[in-house]
Each structure stands twice: as structure tokens, then as C-alpha cells.
Structure 1
Amino acid sequence: MSGSGSGRGGGTYADSVVFVLGRARLEARVGRAAAVEPDHLLVGLGTLCRRDLDDVLGRRGPSAAERAAVAADAVRVRERFDAAGVHPRQLRRGLRDALAASGAAGAGAGGVPHRSRAARRVFTRATERSGAATVSAVDLLRAALEALTPVGLKVLAGHGISDPVAAFFPGDAATDSKTPLLDRYGRDLTALARDGKLPPLIGRGPELRALARVLLRQRKANAVLVGHAGTGKTGLVEGLAARLAAADAPAELAGARIVELSMAALVAGAPHRGDFEDRLQKVLAEARSSPEVILFIDELHTVLHAGGRGASDAANILKPALARGDLRCIGATTPGEYRRDIEDDPALQRRFEVIWVDEPSRAEAVEILAGLLESLAGHHGVDIDAEAAAAAVDLTVRHLPEQRLPDKAIDALDQACAAARIRTLTPDTSPPPAGPVRIGREEVAAAVAERARLPLERVAADEAGRLLAMEEHLRRRVVGQEEAIRAVAEAVRTGRSGLGDPRRPVGVLLFAGPTGTGKTELAKALAEFLFEDERRLVRIDLSEYQERHSISRLLGAPPGYVGHDREGQLSGPLRDHPHSVVLFDEVEKAHPEVLDILLQICDEGQLTDARGRRVPFNESVVILTTNLGSGAAAAGGAFGFLRSAKAAAEPVMAALHQELRPELLGRIGRVVVFAPLDDAALEQILDKLLAQVGERLAGRRVDLTLTGAARRLFLGRASGARAGARALEQAVERLLVQPLGRALLAGDLADGAAVRADAADGQLDFTTGPVRPEGER
């Protein structure tokens, strides 16, 4: 015997349960059954009751402790058989004969059969039923009796047993209950509240009073709680259950039981048409015969699809009971599912009174979290600072806009406590804490950063220092655009300071100027600075969206069209990473209807994709680029090029007002005009490009040196050209990188050589020096 196994839901299986499963598998294999069924488990339980169990266990080689534990469980199982008046050996033999005669053993499997779905549900149910950490054979017996197949039920009927659970467990409270089916397929929230197993309800007074008022009605005493996921609909019902379980419960609702009905449990194990409907009718009959019962159906819209036949069977059974007033029911669903599945059925809709459960305000959310601090601290064994509640609310509101309060704030605080707790359990180099671990704003910020997939510095309180030094970071990548860098930094700082409109993007900027001046590079540098990941730049080239129908590529195709199951090129990345820099290149080339999307993004900070889902932009920086006016600006300067952003701005702004729609320009927070690059800026860019080439050659230990004439050759190719830095990149690639690559492949340039590049007749002339020995640097 291998010892205790793991049970679902956190419990473990006793050695006796492992023994029973092994005997059940043996019975199924001998009987050539395709899978282990609950009836085989009952045979194994009968084997556990054998008088010569010690001999059976001895042949399997268990330890003395294991034999004692199995024997103790066997005594308790034998007591259940005695209570039912059934001899284990007679039942075991009868089940074997019935299973063999049933014809279900035609699979011919040679190996050990796996547990069937019904048998797996037996172990799940036994785990749920067990009040201890270990699932015993008695727990398994009860769960197996509840799930017997018609073969097993027929064998027990031959022993005069029509209700197996009641026969084997005659003294159980569940057996004596007036609502055994509700006990089986539901969860008594009032009993859980009485045992202190439900979290407290803080706030929500108006909604709680509205719910109680509906339940006191004479007819149609049914309410549906409608709210987005995470706003606390289930918590509101649990709070009502706790109120009813209290000693000072309202007299009008005193003695009421709120039972949460699980549609999944009703459907499970009902494969044939009519099984589910029959169960539901019996459950509703129990509820009608018990006026104190209030049914709670979470995810009410699932009623319309329960049983697998679409709309109607479950709903049509439920509607008459709701209309007559002999049943009280509370449902919960989201606004979208309520409109789609319940409003579409007027007969079902008018039987419920809607109670809207909106997201709480910041103050209410902080109050809710403050009330949970003691419970969370006790569970995790930590100390939680009072400021952690406000920090969890503020940080999740800012960085997790797609989720709802209070759930997201509670999860963040719970995750922070769990992370701190894990650090104390995981061996590392740091010494263990002297006292209880404290949870404050920093720990909550780390949890929010992990959930939002952001660097910790981006969420932590010291972000202000980074933002104040933003220009210095951007200058490392973008050269010669001081005015543009300053404008971008100011716009982002304004948005991050909290003074910007929280419903709009952090910043909406228009980069205008000639190509090759650093517009895209500045967007990449901004993404790297804000999110420490250049991949957070979502780049949309609007020159590809010049037709009206191309809008579907941005937001996804509507249902029924080709590609409707794929995400849009804009909506998909933004739903995955709401914190991004979104770059719309060449805005002047887009179709007018595509520009309408930009109007919505810049004004409302969100849009709706083809599936009706909200795509947030209020945590992103939106950048538009254009080359409008750059031709006129270049034509008006000395040697074909203007030398300052201020001088270049006039023709650029004139072109923008002429070509772009006024409503789009009015929604842009800042127009940043990029000046043509001067010689000093081109020198710095050349140094960066040559440093990159040097890093690539370092692997071959090639030392590259350029003369002044060679540098002047590169700068002459870019100076006065409209391509700017791009012309310089092309010149370096064509005149330097490609010839060096050919020389390395041809063997003309050996590893470790020193290369000197000089200019001659508009080309580079390479001179190779001595080869350095291996290992010399």
C-alpha cells in the first residue's frame, strides 16, 4: 500500500480509501469493464468489511500502522452495513453477478481501468463532504451510495432498500432534512454564516434593504442582482445570509434559509434527456414545500442553457414557480448577459425585480477593505498597515482599469499578503524576520505590478523621481530633438501627476516633421522608459488603412465575417496590455472612418471592438505621426533645409490645418514639430551607429578604426538630405557593413585583425593590420 493519496479540494485519501480503489479496479478488470464505476467502489467497500482483512492486507505488504488505520476504518464501514441490515459478503457477491450480467463489460480492456466520470464525482463529493483533512472510507461509502448506477440500485432494492443513503446513514441530519435534494445540489449560506464561514458584508446598505424588500413581497418575491464581475453581487447575498443567521435578524425574515443552487451539480450525472429537468422539478418542489427556503442562483443566465438544449427547458420549468409566488429566488448576472439572455425572454424578465449592484466609490471601497484587514491578517499571520487599504484601492484603480472594485483591490491585498508569507517560507540568503511580516504600500504595489505586468518602479511611489529625470533618459536614444523631448516629457508628467483627465489617454501627441528625424525612435524610447519594454509600443501604419473596410482589421471582423474569431490589430494588443504607447504612423493617409476611431480614442479614452468588448486607452500614450509640411519646410531653408524646429513649425502647422480635420486637431494635446538634424546631431548618431557595428565585430575580435575623411564621407551622405538619420544608417550599411561582411565570408579579413577605413573617391578604402593572438584583447 502506497500511503495516502491526494484528494481534490485540498484533502487527502486515507489508506482505506486507497485500498478500496485498488479492489474496485481489480473488480473492474476481472469483469472486463471499460471503467471503474461507483458500483465497483461499493464492491471494494464490501471487501473492506471482510473478516479476514488482515490476511488480505498482509499479502499486500503494508506497515503495521497502515494495517491499524485500515482496520479502524473497516470497523466504521461495517457499522454502516449493519445499520442498513445488509451483509457485506452477500452484497458484494450480488453486485458482482449483476455487473457481469449487465453486459457493460464488453470493452475487453487488458490494463487497469480508469475511473469513470461518475466515479471521479464520487471522490470529489467525498472530499467535499468530509469535514476532516483526510477523506475516510465512510465518506467514500456515502458518496458512492449517492451515485450508484441502475445496476447497483437494483441490487440494493433486492435487499429491500429503496433509499440507500437513508438506509446506511439513518441518523444523519442530512437524511432527516426536509430538503435532501437541496442539501445535495445546493449550499446553505445561512448555515455557513451561522458557523462563521462567510466573509462579513461591509457597506451596501441600500442594496441590502432593496433585496430584503423584494423578498417580503406577496407575489413575485424574486430579485436579480445585475452588476459587472467583481462588484460584490455574491457578497451581497452572503451578507444577507449572515444578517438572517444573526440573533437580531428581522422578524419578517427570521428563520429563512438562503440556499445557493448549483446548476452545474444539477446537470452533472444527468446524461439522458429528461434527467436534468426531473431533478430541477424535484428541487423546486422541495423549495415550494419549505416556505423558509430562498433559492440563490448565481450566474442566472446559465439557467437558459442548462441541460444542453438551449433556452428553454430549465427556464420554462422555473417561470411558473416564480410567477405563482410560492417560491422566492435571488439571481445574479452581469449587465451584458442580463440583456442578452434574460431581457430577451419577457416572461422570465417580468418575474424578477432588478437590483443594480454598481462599483463602489473610492471611499466605500476603502471602507470595505479596511473591514477585511483583520480577517486577512489573521489568515496570513501578518500585520497589515492601515494605509494598505487605500493603497490597494488607488493602485488598482489606476493600473487595473479593466477590472472592478472591490474585488480587484481585495485580490491585490490578498496577493500581497500571500507573497510576503511565501518569502518567509522560502529559504534564501536573507535572515528570517524577527516579528510578524508587515504589509504596507510597497508590498501592495509589488502585487499590483505583477498583476498589471508592469515594472515595480512604474507602480511604486518613487515614480515621481523617474518622471522628473525623464528628459535625461530619452536623450540617450534620441539625438538633436531637445524641443520634442521636452514637450513629450511635460505631457507625460502632466498625465501622471493626476491633474489630467482620468478618462482620457495619459497623453495625445502629434509628431510632425521630415522622415529620419527621430519620431519613431522617440516613441520607442518613451515605451522603454515608461514600461521598461520596447515591445509595449503598438505601431499601426495608417498607410495600410486607406480603404473603408480596413477598419475591421483594427477592431476585428464582425460576427459572421471571415476572421471574426481573431483579435483586431489594435484592439487585441491593447486588451492584453492596456499600459502601452500606441503609435499611429502617417495619419494623413488613413481613411476618414479610421480617423473617427482616433477621435473616440483621444476624446473618450476607450473604444469598442467588433465583439462589443471595451478596449481601454486611459493608461496609454497615443502618438500620431505625419510628414505633412516637411517638404515646404525643407524647401524654405538654406541649402534646402531649415535649421530649427521653430522655423520649421510655421509651414508644418499650416499644412496640418489644411489637411487634417479640425475635430482631430482639437483633440490633440500637443503638436511636436521635429527639426531637421544639424551636423552636431548627425555626428552623435554616427557615433552610435559605429558603436553598434563595433559590438558586432567584437565577437570576431576585429578592431575597426575610421579616419576623419571616412567620417566626413558618411556625414556628407546625410547632411542636407531629407532622409536625415535614415540616410546615415543606409550609408553605414552600404559603405561599411556590407564590404566588411563580404571580406569576412571570403576570408580576406581574419579574426583578430585590425581594420582601418579611409575615404577615397566616394568609397571606403580598407587597410588590414596584423592579427592579434587568440585571447588578446
Structure 2
Amino acid sequence: MRNSLTILPHQLAGQKLTNHAKQALIESGNLARKFGHAEIDNIHLLYAIYLNQGSLGSNILKDFGVKETDLKKLLEQKRDTNAKNVKKNQLLPSNRLKKTFTSAYAIAKKLNYPFVGTEHMIHAIINSDDAAITNFLSNINLKSTPKSLVALFDPAQLSNIPKIFDIPDISLGKPSGKKSSTTPFISKFCIDINKEVHKKNELIIGREIEIQRMINILGRKNKNNPILVGEAGVGKTALVSGLAHRINSGAVPPALYRKKIMGLDVAQLIAGTSFRGEFETRLKEIIKEASAHRNIIIFIDEIHTIVGAGNLSGGLDLANILKPALARGELQIIGATTFEEYKKYIEKDAALERRFQLIQVEEPSKNEAEKILLGIRKDYEKFHNVSISDEAIKLAVELSVRYIQNRFLPDKAIDVIDEAASNIRSKHRVSDFLYQIGKLEDKKLAFLEEKEKLVGQEDYEKAIKLRSQEKEIEQQIKLLQKKQSAVESDYPVNITAADVIETIAKISKIPVEKLSADSGSKIKNIKKVLNSQIVGQKEAIEKLASALLRSQSGVSNPDRPLGSFLFLGPTGVGKTMTAKVLAQEFFDNPKALIRIDMSELMERHNVASLIGSPAGYIGYGEGGKLTEKVRRNPYSVILFDEIEKAHPDVFNILLQILEDGNLTDAEGLRVDFKNTIVILTSNIGTADFTNASKLGFESTDKNSAVSKKFNEIKDHTIKELEKRMRPELLNRLDHILVFNSLGEAEIKKITKKELKKLADRLAKQKISLAFNAAAINFIAKKSLAWNQGARLIRKNIQELLENPISEIIIYNRVKNGKISANVKNNSIKLI
């Protein structure tokens, strides 16, 4: 069954009708029923609007001399042969009325009216092709001619109707007053970047080479579409703003003079296109407008999203619709995306890729980033009402590079300054002025909502009163804002290096005192920590620290890693432990250790896994095991374990890292190793070292037989190393460090340290562990083994102490929260 008339307003226009318009539609149905007509027509609606007292449409008809008797007479003359067959609830609008209402809705929308009113309905009725209406207006005695009445409702004049009929300005339900655009689709779905740049008046610092390259590509005859490819945060969008700034200032060749860069909003373009063909229509209109106005350049940020975008129900995606237009040169596009997305989406589509000219946007250097931050400093100072020091900017760049991973300059340094300023401002209490402004804003919003409701009801008199009250509130808000600005200017805040350090500490979770330590004190602290945790290796630690001190002081070559070392020596003496402690203390991050097991790279085809699989092989596009980790964490210790087991091709990779300080992966991306510490370990000579350890643990003095033998083995091992490894690799290392065998004294020290760690863990459970020298000596002697180093210590502590202590805790046998470890009858006893 077809719907009844009572839902007609919702059926035709949802909730976008004024109350008077709804009443007129319902009344038109009543009139059709009253006069015995089979359907509702334009004349019924016209009569219903006339009868709707107080509506704008009724006032217009009466002002032009339309009389009720004339309308009634016309309805009485209308005959309908099908009226008898119509049931009471089946009265429906005619096709003419449906077209009329659609036209009314369209004109209201075109003029930015929030509701369809009776005035829009009259405009639609007068301009319809309804012969009955045309004859009616021609035959009745109007004050003005039908032509003048039609002219009044011309779209260009419709916005003036409220003024003509003395309807007051209430700033709602009126058109925006904007001129109709010659490119309506581009205006709707794009942002004018030239205007945005002019409005913000922000300076674009640096990137002269990239901007000039973009200008050169845009000036070409063919394939004149640049695509900016770089990591997120390096400034790709800022480059486009820089080009727009040059166009605005006229600092471009004639080919780009008066060009407009319009940023396409892909999400908005797709939004609401639920039916097949809607998306394609929108995009084709944009292409058509851009082709007709050759001064328009379309900018698509995240351009990889066009591949597959809008592909609904088997339709074409955005990329495939753009390809023919790009091929014919009908429009110019600037794209921006990341390396990863470019390879994944754009590069795989050869027909799309060849339409663009790639511009690689590299991360700026520290110096360039500092210049960028100095250039935009005023904008952030004005926004936060603070003063930002040069030292704070320099430190923001320096610390963000070291401690904020997976992000890039200048974006991460800008974020640090922005958050530091916000952090300082957040410590200030909200003033009474701001509180009052907030209250008035809420009141203004309530008035606006009430006013909109009154306009929908066409109750203009009450709406005028609300508008006058709204203006009073606006004046009060402006006055309070001036007072608030005066208060803020009286209390300027300086952003210092300390504020930047505090912000970095919050982001990276690294203690402030570690971030604020200078290089010299940091190296001294590293020596102290290494000597306390790595027992018996003072000589190796001294050489390690001296090499790092050279790199930190700027004496060593800045184009190479911070340090490169080869660790030799027997097993279990602290080689791997040194790398772990170094990562923690030098880079303030226990996760800064990248460990590569060289036994996994014994075959030639496995070597490629370090830099990534070549095209056509499994794993292509996923990045290399080494390069990806360093790219994500450029400040790290890289441990190449058991280097002699690797395939010789690995040495070529190491040579490039040690000599140039960088490595190019399988995808052509350069990875920087200049801020890494490279450590190689080798088992060459291990058998000799362990045999020397059989002589005993009693002494490590250089004059002893053990030390003499050990030094002979060192020399022999280094000679053996030179035979088995390429000399050019060994010569590029800062130091070859040989770790000493551990004597009984060192084993005792390590045992005591491990027992202290166990005691600290128990203390967290409020249990005190006491142990005497006898217990330390007992575990140390039991852990002495010529081929194990210190590896047996943890195992023995686990068996002799941890296991029985666990039972005591589980079965609640702890007395007064204390446990004592003593030696009795040649074994450890717990009390």
C-alpha cells in the first residue's frame, strides 16, 4: 500500500521544513480532499500557503494582490475524473508537485538556507511548467505583472526578499552572501593552500633545492606532476606551502604565475557516495573544472590512498579515473607519500608511476632543523605567550634525535618545543576572566540554538530579541578577552633548556639527571659503571672509554661510527655483558642493544637478510634485519656475535659501515650508522685462552707465569686473526680488546655481586638475606672452572640458595622476615 499524505513532509525533505511549510503541505492535502480531487497539485499548495497566516509566502502573495476568491474559484473549476476511486488515506502528491518541492529544496540549499520555507515553495511553483498556474497568474488582477513576480523570485534576488518585505536581519536562515564559484566542486572538496599560507603568513625555512625541483617539474610540457616521497614528519606538506608562498609573492617563473594550489580532501570526496556512480561523478567534475581552469594545481597528501579509493560495487577507483586525465595533460597534480607507501601502492602501478616525477625529501640535518625551528619560533611564542631561548631550540633538536625514535626531524623537535611550552602554561591557574568567558560562550551557544528553533517556526520577532542579547554577550566576551590578554602579557614565561630536558624525560621515560649530564662526566660514569659490573677487565674498559671520549669530543672522524671494537678472550669473562652495560649507560636505553648472531649468516644467501631481500625474493619490502633496526633506533650498540662464523660477504657490509658510516638497504634507502657503537666478538684463540686458564686462578699480575703466558696467547691470537679476517676490516676498527681470564679473586667479587642482587630481590618482599664471607668463598670455589669463566656462579647460586629459599617462602617458614646463609659441613645451610 502506498503511503498516506501525513508523512509527505518527511517523504520529500526529511526534517528540513519550516513549521509554516509543513502546515502548508498538510493543508494542501485537506484542500484536495475538500474539493474532491484525486491528487494534490501545485494549486492546492499555493492556496494552502495563502491561507497560512504569518508565513513569508502568504505575505508575498497578498502583497502582490493575489486574492483568496481567485484561488478558490480556480480549485472549484478543477475537475478530476478519478476522484471517486480514491480512498481516504491514499491521497498522494502529483508528479508536478513532487518536481516543485524538489526545486524548492534545491533553491534553499543553493542559497545556504537551513530550512525550506514557504517563500522557496512559491518560487518553485511560479517557475514550474504548470499551465494552470501560468494562466492563473496571467488572468487575475495583480498589482504587478506576472513577470515582475517571477523576477522577484530569481535566485539572484531571492536572498533580498527579507529586506523587500521588511524581514529583519537575524543572522540565521539567510544565505552566506558568497559569490557563486566557477569551480563549485573544487571549492567544496579542496582547500585553497595559497589562501591558507597567506592567512597564516608563516615563513618556510630552507628546502630551496626541493622547491626549485618542484618548480622545474611543474614547468615541463609532459609528465609535469611531482610526487614528494619522504618519511613522515620531514616536511613534505611544508614544501607545498613553500611553493604556494613563492607563487603568492610572485617569485616563480611565468609558467607558475597566478597558479592556485588546491589540496584535495580524499575522505570528504568519498564521504556519502553510497550509490554507484556518485564518486565517479564528483571526481569527473573536479577534473573537468581543473581542465577548464589551467591555473589550478591539485595537491593530494597521502597520495597512496587514491589507489582503491572509491571502488564501490566494482566501480573504478580514484587512481584509474585520474590516469587518462594525467596522460592527456588535462590537470596537474602534486602528490606526497612515504617511501614505504610509495613502493607498496604507487610503484607497483607502472601506468600511474610514470605520470609522476619523484622528488626524495630527506630528513634535514641538525643544523637545518635548528634553522627551521628558529624560523617558526615566533609563531609558537605568540600562541603559547612564551619566550623560547636559542639554547632550548638547540637542545630540542639534539635530544629529540637521540631519544625520540621512529620519528623524524624537524617534526619531533617542533613537538618537543610545543609540548614544553604547553607544559609550562598548564602549570598556570585558569584566570577568572577565562572562566567568565567560558560561561558567556555557553550562554551564546544556547541563544543560537533557541534562535534557530524560532526561525524554523518563522517567529522572527522573538528571534530579533535573542539576536540583540547575543550581540551584548559578544561585546562582553571581547572586553574580557582584552583583559585576559593584558594579564597574560604581564606574566611572560621563558622556555629554557631545563624545560626541554623535562619534556624529553617525560616522552622517553629517561631520568632527567641522565639527560642533563655532559659528555665528559658521562664517559667517566660509564668507566665507573663498567668497572663495577665487569670485573677484572680494567685495561679493555680503559681503551673502550678513551675511544668513546674521542668521538664525543669531536676529535675522531664524524663520518664513522662512534666506536668500533673487536672483543677477544675466553668464554664467560664479560664480553657480551660489556655490550649490554654500554647500551644502558651510554645510550640510556637497555633496548639500544642490537644483537646479530653471525652463525645465522653462514650461507651466502642469508647475508641479504641484513639489508633486506632483493626484488623477487621472499621478504622483499619488509626491510633488513640490521638496517630496519638501526633506522628505527639510530643510537644503539650493534653486537656482531662470533664474527668468524659469518660468510665472507658479511665483511663487505661491515667495511661500508666502518668506513662510510652508512649502509644502503635493498630498497635503496640510506641508513645512518654514525651514532652507533659497533662491537664484533670472536672465538678465535678461545682454546688457547682456556688452556692457559688451567695454570690456575691464583694471580693476574703481569710478572706471574700466568700473565706472561696470557700475553703470549694475545699476540698469537691477533696474528691468527689477521690470517683469517681481511686486514682492511681489522685496520678500520678502533681497538682489538682482549678480555683477561678470571682468577679466584675476580670470581669472589662476581659471587658477592650476584648474592647482593638476590638480597635486593628478596628485600622487595620484605625478607632480609644475610650471608658471610664463608658463604661467598664456598660458592666462589664451587664455581671455579678453567673453561667456564663466571658462568657457573649463577647456576650455583640458583641451586644452593634460590631453590631452598623458594621452598621456605612458599611454606611460610621465614622467621621474623630474616634468612641467613652459612657454611656448615661443607654445604650451605639456611637459617
Normalising by the smaller structure, the TM-score range is 0.5 to 0.7
Q: CA deviation at 1:382?
A: 0.5
Runs of at least 5 residues in structure 2 that lack an aligned partner in the other structure:
1-5, 24-53, 62-89, 94-107, 130-153, 160-172, 432-487, 698-705
Secondary structure of the equivalent of 1:623? strand
Where does residue 415 of structure 1 map in the other structure?
A: 419
Partners of 1:42 and 1:141 within 8 A in 2: no
**Helix, strand or coil for the counterpart of 1:279?**
helix
CA contact (8 A) 1:509 1:624 kept: yes
- Preserved CA contact (<8 Å) 1:220 1:322: no
Aligned-partner Cα distance in 2 for 1:693–1:337:
50
* Inter-CA distance 638–723: structure 2 relative to 1 (3 Å threshold): closer
Say if 1:211 and 1:455 are closer, same or farther in 2 by CA, change over 3 A: same
Structure 2 CA distance for aligned equivalents of residues 503 and 724 of structure 1: 37
The 3 A distance-change label for structure 1 pair 455 and 575 is: farther
User: Does the CA contact (< 8 Å) of 1:228 and 1:335 recur in 2?
Assistant: yes
Shift of 1:704: 3.8
Q: Considering only aligned residues, what root-mean-square deviation do their CA atoms show, in Å?
A: 5.1
- The separation in 2 between residues aligned to 1:276 and 1:732, in whole angstroms, is 71
Instruction: Name the amino acid aligned to 1:183.
Output: S
In structure 1, what residue type is equivalent to 2:532? R
SS in structure 2 of the partner of residue 264 of structure 1: helix
Secondary structure class of the residue paired with 1:672:
strand
Q: Pick from 197, 202, 212: which aligns with 1:199?
A: 202
Residue 651 of structure 1 corresponds to: 716
Preserved contact between residue 221 and residue 329 of structure 1 (Cα < 8 Å): no
Which of 463, 469, 480 pairs up with 2:525? Answer: 469
Q: Where in structure 2 are the equivalents of 1:336-735 lying within 5 Å?
A: 360=364, 364-397=368-401, 403-424=407-428, 435-448=491-504, 455-457=511-513, 459-460=515-516, 462-543=518-599, 546=602, 574=630, 576-592=632-648, 598-607=654-663, 616-636=672-692, 639=695, 642-643=706-707, 646=711, 648-695=713-760, 699=765, 701=767, 704-706=770-772, 708=774, 710-719=775-784, 721-735=786-800
Q: How does 1:38-77 map to 2 (within 5 A)?
A: 43-46=14-17
Give the TM-score of the pair, scaled to structure 1. 0.67
Does structure 2 retain, via aligned residues, the 8 Å contact 1:225–1:233?
A: no
Q: 2:282 aligns with which of 274, 279, 282?
A: 279
Query: Is 1:766 matched up with 2:769?
Result: no
CA contact (8 A) 2:689 2:741 kept: no
CA contact (8 A) 1:165 1:175 kept: no
**Shift of residue 368 of structure 1?**
3.0
**Is the partner of 2:535 in helix, strand or coil?**
coil
Moved more, 541-550 or 509-518: 541-550
Q: Write out per-residue CA displacement over residues 18-37 of structure 1, whole angstroms, 9 at most, x where no aligned residue.
A: xxxxxxxxxxxx99xxxxxx
Q: Which moved more, 1:539-548 or 1:304-313?
A: 304-313
Which amino acid in 2 is paired with 1:241? Answer: A
1:431-472 C-alpha deviation (Å, 9 max, x unpaired): x99832212334344445555665545554634322233211
Once the two structures are TM-superposed, the CA of residue 555 in structure 1 deviates from its matched residue by 6.8
CA drift at 1:522: 1.9
Residues 304 and 311, structure 1, Cα contact 8 Å, conserved in 2: no
In structure 2, distance between residues paired with 1:597 and 1:44: 69
Name the CA shift for 1:617/1:447 in 2 (closer, same or farther; >3 Å): farther
- Is the CA contact (8 Å cut-off) linking 1:416 and 1:443 kept in structure 2? yes
What do the CA deviations read for 1:567-620 (whole angstroms, capped 9, x no partner)? 876566545543333333333334545566555554554556777776654433
The corresponding residue for 1:238 is 241
Q: Which amino acid aligns with 1:262?
A: D
Distance 1:242 1:39 in 2: 49
Using the TM superposition, give the Cα deviation of residue 546 of structure 1 relative to its aligned residue in structure 2, in angstroms. 4.6
- Aligned to 2:310, the other structure's residue is in SS state helix
Residues 402, 616 of structure 1: 8 Å contact kept: no
1:297-348 CA distances to partner (integer Å, 9 max, x unpaired)? 3344544543338998645544554565554444445566667766776766
Shift of 1:186: 0.6
Query: Is residue 556–residue 568 contact of structure 1 (8 Å, CA) maintained in 2?
Result: yes
Structure 2 SS opposite 1:295: strand
Kept in 2, the 8 Å contact 1:548–1:593? The answer is yes
On the 8 A contact 2:573/2:739 being kept in 1, the answer is yes
Cα 1:99–1:765 shift into 2, 3 Å: farther
Matched, 1:189 2:193: yes
Aligned to 1:226: 228
Q: Determine whether 1:177 maps to 2:181.
A: yes
Unpaired runs of at least 5, structure 1: 1-29, 32-37, 53-78, 87-96, 101-137, 147-153, 769-777
Q: 1:262 aligns with which of 236, 261, 265?
A: 265
Residue 125 (structure 1) aligns with: none
| Alpha-carbon shift at residue 687 of structure 1 (Å) | 1.9
For residues 247-301 of structure 1, give each alpha carbon's deviation from its aligned partner in whole angstroms, at most 9, with x where no partner exists.
Answer: 9998876654332222332223224443322222211211222344333333445
Aligned equivalents of 2:57, 2:617: Cα separation in 1: 66
Structure 1 distance, partners of 2:240, 2:603, is 51
* Paired residue type of 1:367: K
Letter of the 1:377 counterpart: E
- TM-score in terms of structure 2 length: 0.64
Which secondary structure state, in structure 2, belongs to the residue aligned with residue 627 of structure 1? coil
Instruction: Report the AA paired with residue 589 of structure 1.
Output: K
The residue type paired with residue 264 of structure 2 is: L
Percent identity among equivalent residues? Answer: 36
Shift in alpha-carbon separation, 1:689–1:333, aligned structure 2, 3 A: closer
Describe the shift of the 1:650–1:316 C-alpha distance in structure 2 as closer, same or farther (beyond 3 A): same
SS of 1:766's partner is strand
Q: 1:362 to 1:688 in 2, by over 3 A?
A: closer
Native 8 Å contact 1:504 1:618 kept in 2: yes
Task: Tell me if the contact between 2:693 and 2:741 (Cα under 8 Å) persists in the aligned partners.
Answer: no
Contact in 2 for aligned 1:224/1:333 (Cα 8 Å)? no
Q: Please state how far the C-alpha of 1:559 moved relative to its aligned partner.
A: 8.6
Change (3 A) 1:187 1:273: same
What is residue 133 of structure 1 aligned with on the other side? none
**Cα deviations by residue, 1:206-230 (Å, 9 ceiling, x for unpaired):** 555555566566x449341534244
Give the 3-state SS of the residue equivalent to 2:827 in structure 1.
Answer: strand
Of stretches 540-549 and 236-245 in structure 1, the one that deviates more from structure 2 is 540-549
| Whole-angstrom CA distance in 2 between matches of 1:253 and 1:696 | 70
In 2: Cα distance, 1:340 partner to 1:702 partner: 59
Deviation of 1:564 (Å): 8.1
**Contact preservation (8 Å) 2:567, 2:681:** yes
Structure 2 CA distance for partners of 1:703 and 1:472, relative to 1, 3 Å: closer
Write the letter of the residue equivalent to 1:480: G
In 1, distance between residues paired with 2:591 and 2:251?
A: 58
Secondary structure, aligned partner of 2:238:
helix
Secondary structure in 2 aligned to 1:370? helix
Q: Kindly tell me: are residues 228 and 274 of structure 1, through their superposed partners in 2, closer, same or farther at Cα, counting changes over 3 Å?
A: same
Cα shift readout 1:351-392 (whole Å, capped 9, x = no counterpart): 656666555565554433322111111011100123444444
Distance 2:683 2:214 in 1: 60
1:146-157 counterparts in 2 under 5 A?
none
Amino acid aligned to 2:230: H
SS of 1:469's partner is helix
**Equivalent-residue separation in structure 2 for 1:365 and 1:330 (angstroms):** 24
Structure 2 letter corresponding to 1:764: S
Shift of 1:548: 5.5
Distance 2:584 2:665 in 1: 27
Is 1:296 the equivalent of 2:305? no
